Structure 1
Amino acid sequence: MSGAGFILAINFVVAGLLAAAFMAVALYDAKLTAARWFALSYGLGMAYFGVEFMIYALGSNTPAIVFSFAIVLAGMAQFNVGLAQKYSVQNPRTTMAATFIVSVVVCTLIQDLPRTSFWRMLAYQAPYFAMQLIGVWIVGFSRARGRLDTVLLVVLSASALQFLSKPFLMVLAGGTGASAQDYLKTNYALFSQTLATIFAIGVALLMLVIMARDILADVTSKSETDTLSGLYNRGGFERRASKAMEDALRQGMPVSLVIADLDHFKAVNDTFGHASGDRVIQAFAGFLKSAAGGRQVAARLGGEEFAIILPGSNLIAARLFAEGARSSFSSLPIEGLPADRRFTASFGVAELLRLESLSGLMRRADEALYAAKKDGRDCVRVARPAEVMPGTAIGRVR
């Protein structure tokens, strides 16, 4: 077997492994429909390499060559469909269908040109470039791009350009052989197949890493989210509140915390049932979520207790926020409960002191909340700015 034939065999195995890997991801989470398209794409890659082996072993004709070309182009199109689903970009199916049809026609027409023709090779490779460029456009058009997604964009761009480099590579490597059957015996085939392997594996591995990142982020988010309210749970709140405090302090901004507790919540459950109590929790959580800005972090700490961290807000601003929330919620009707019945909440407010930890801030806000409960509920109380001695705060924010 020639060197190019060996690379072709490796590509066949690698395409199968990548198709299996993407299918495993799709089976892990049925919502990841993009993974199924990626698996189909690399499955078509296996079919392409199988056809190339048949051409090498049994000889070639125009239909076989065009069929081989069409399989690769179809596989790239399926990969683009997966990219569109992954990045929530409208699927450019019309553009891809037109590219596919025109390309197959052109591929058929150029078969009578000499195999050593530069323009024949350019016409053969340009559709691959165009189809890959559509994938570049899909990722580039996405608004939700992180560092890995940017790396993918760069690799896809390089992969697209390598198709345009192949006519020049053919000239430098001495041609593609006298016939399609001789192709795998040429140096050009060795270089071309190696380039294809590098980019196919690079793109696939990057996509697998990106999907693994998204799965991990989703698992983390679910583990830190309270199912009933849709807000963060205590663990998620503490992690994000600590980060928000660090960012605010680094920028020299104040940070305040508001802790709220629904009033007479046990009576709500006893009178109207636990399902109605859940609706009250969901209504208050929805209210907090809509009131929270981009940097603010809201959570359900447990039971009927909630918290929201307010970066950039001093004690006065935080108290105004709490007063507005108290007044608005007390006039909010709850779906499924008597129209004339209103529910209230008590609030405790504290501003972060120098060298104070999140636990210390939460303790003082809790004390203010206790004072609000003691003073008759449905009110806001502010924590006293007790001194915090250097060296005593646990897990202080620097």
Structure 2
Amino acid sequence: MSGAGFILAINFVVAGLLAAAFLTVALYDAKLTAARWFALGYGFGMAYFGIEFMIYMLGSNGPAVVFSFAVVLAGMALFNVGLAQKYSVQNPRTTMAVTFILSVVVCTLIQDQPRTSFWRMLAYQAPYFAMQVIGVWIVGFSRARGRLDTVLLVLLSASALQFLSKPFLMVVFGGTGATPQDYLSTNYALFSQTLSTIFAIGVALLMLVIMVRDILAAVTSKSETDTLSGLYNRGGFERLATEALEHAARRGTPFALVIADLDHFKAVNDTFGHASGDRVIQAFAGLLKGAAGAPPIAARLGGEEFAIVLPGANLIAARLFAEGARAAFSARPIEGLPADKRFTASFGVAELLASESLSGLMRRADEALYAAKEEGRDCVRVSRPAAVVAGLLAGRAK
């Protein structure tokens, strides 16, 4: 077996392993439909390498070469469908279908051209380039793109360009052989197959890493989310609030915390039932998320107690936020409960002090909340630093 034939056999096995890897991801989570398309795409790649090997071993004519070409192009199209699913971009099925049909027609027409022709090779490789560019377009138009996704974009772009480089490589390495059977015996085949393998494996492995990243992010989000309210639970809140607090401390920007507690919530459950109590919690959670903007770091700390951090807000701004939320909630009817029934909440507000930890900030906000409860509920109270309180008392004494 030639060196190119050996690479082709390796490609066959690698394509099968990658298809199995994506299929495993798809079986892990049925919602990851993109993984199914990736698995199918690399399954077509596996079939392509098998067909190429059969052409080399048994010998064949033009139709088999066209069929081999169509299989790999279809595999690339299926991969693009997976990309569109993954990045929530409209599937360019019409563009891909037209590209596929025209490409197969062109591939059929060039079979009578000399295999050493530069233009024949360019016409053969250009459809691969075009289909890969569609994948680049899909990732490029994604609104949610992180660092790894940007690396994927660059890698897909480089992979597309390598198809256009092959006509030049053919000239450099002495051609593709006089017949399809001679192809795997050429130096060009060895280099071309190796280059394609590097990009195919690189794209697949990076895509797997991206999907694992997304799975881990989803698992983390699920473990840190309160299922009833849709807000963070205490663990998720403390993690994100600590990160936001440290960021504010480094930049020297204000940072405030609001803690709220639904008033007489036990009476709501006792009077209207727990299902109605759940609706009250959901209504208050929705109000917090809507009032804070995106993305809010808001949580249901437990029971009827909630918290929300306001990066960039000082004590005055945080109090205004709390007052607005209090007034909006007290005027808001709750679906499924009497139209004239209204519910209220009490709020405690604190602004971050120099060198203060999240626990210290939460303690002061909680003390302010306790004061709001003691002073009649349905109100907002703020936690002032001891030095400010002492100054106010001294002023009154004068």
Structure 1 length-normalised TM: 0.96
1:283-324 residue CA offsets vs partner (Å, 9 max, x unmatched): 000000000123642111000000111111111111111111
Moved over 4 A (4+): none
2:175 maps to which residue? 175
On the 8 A contact 1:118/1:171 being kept in 2, the answer is yes
Deviation at 1:387, TM superposition (A): 6.2
On the 8 A contact 1:295/1:310 being kept in 2, the answer is no
On the 8 A contact 2:258/2:308 being kept in 1, the answer is yes
Pair 1:6 & 2:9 matched:
no
On the 8 A contact 2:289/2:296 being kept in 1, the answer is no
* Counterpart AA for 2:80: N
For 1:278-297, what aligned pairs fall within 5 Å after superposition? Answer: 278-294=278-294, 296-297=296-297
Secondary structure of the corresponding residue to residue 60 of structure 1: coil
Partners of 1:293 and 1:247 lie apart in 2 by: 19
1:246 maps to which residue? 246
2:138 maps to which residue? 138
Secondary structure of the corresponding residue to residue 309 of structure 1: strand
Partners of 1:267 and 1:151 lie apart in 2 by: 55
Ranges in structure 2 where 5+ consecutive residues have no aligned partner? 389-398
Alignment RMSD: 1.1
1:214 maps to which residue? 214
2:395 maps to which residue? none
* Counterpart AA for 1:339: A
2:391 maps to which residue? none
Secondary structure of the corresponding residue to residue 259 of structure 1: strand
Partners of 1:387 and 1:223 lie apart in 2 by: 40
* Counterpart AA for 2:36: R
On the 8 A contact 2:368/2:383 being kept in 1, the answer is yes
Give identity over the alignment, percent: 87
Aligned residue pairs total 388
Secondary structure of the corresponding residue to residue 350 of structure 1: strand
Partners of 1:387 and 1:217 lie apart in 2 by: 43
Secondary structure of the corresponding residue to residue 142 of structure 1: coil
Secondary structure of the corresponding residue to residue 386 of structure 2: coil
Pair 1:149 & 2:135 matched:
no
Partners of 1:220 and 1:334 lie apart in 2 by: 31
1:128 maps to which residue? 128
Deviation at 1:249, TM superposition (A): 2.4
On the 8 A contact 2:230/2:285 being kept in 1, the answer is yes
For 1:251-266, what aligned pairs fall within 5 Å after superposition? Answer: 251-266=251-266
Secondary structure of the corresponding residue to residue 209 of structure 2: helix
Secondary structure of the corresponding residue to residue 247 of structure 2: helix
Partners of 2:80 and 2:114 lie apart in 1 by: 32
* Counterpart AA for 1:174: G
1:51 maps to which residue? 51
For 1:54-203, what aligned pairs fall within 5 Å after superposition? Answer: 54-203=54-203
Deviation at 1:256, TM superposition (A): 1.1
Partners of 2:315 and 2:337 lie apart in 1 by: 35
On the 8 A contact 1:122/1:167 being kept in 2, the answer is yes
* Counterpart AA for 1:164: L
Deviation at 1:252, TM superposition (A): 2.0
* Counterpart AA for 1:329: F
The 1:112–1:61 alpha-carbon spacing in structure 2 relative to 1, beyond 3 Å, is same
2:41 maps to which residue? 41
Partners of 1:248 and 1:293 lie apart in 2 by: 18
* Counterpart AA for 2:32: L
Partners of 1:315 and 1:70 lie apart in 2 by: 65
For 1:222-371, what aligned pairs fall within 5 Å after superposition? Answer: 222-294=222-294, 296-371=296-371
Partners of 2:370 and 2:328 lie apart in 1 by: 21
* Counterpart AA for 2:124: Y
Q: More displaced, 300-309 or 317-326?
A: 317-326
On the 8 A contact 1:25/1:32 being kept in 2, the answer is yes
1:128-165 residue CA offsets vs partner (Å, 9 max, x unmatched): 01100110111111111111111111110111011111
Ranges in structure 1 where 5+ consecutive residues have no aligned partner? 389-398
2:394 maps to which residue? none
Partners of 2:324 and 2:169 lie apart in 1 by: 70
1:340-386 residue CA offsets vs partner (Å, 9 max, x unmatched): 11000011111111111100010011111111111111111111313
Partners of 1:184 and 1:18 lie apart in 2 by: 23
Partners of 2:325 and 2:112 lie apart in 1 by: 77
Secondary structure of the corresponding residue to residue 137 of structure 1: helix
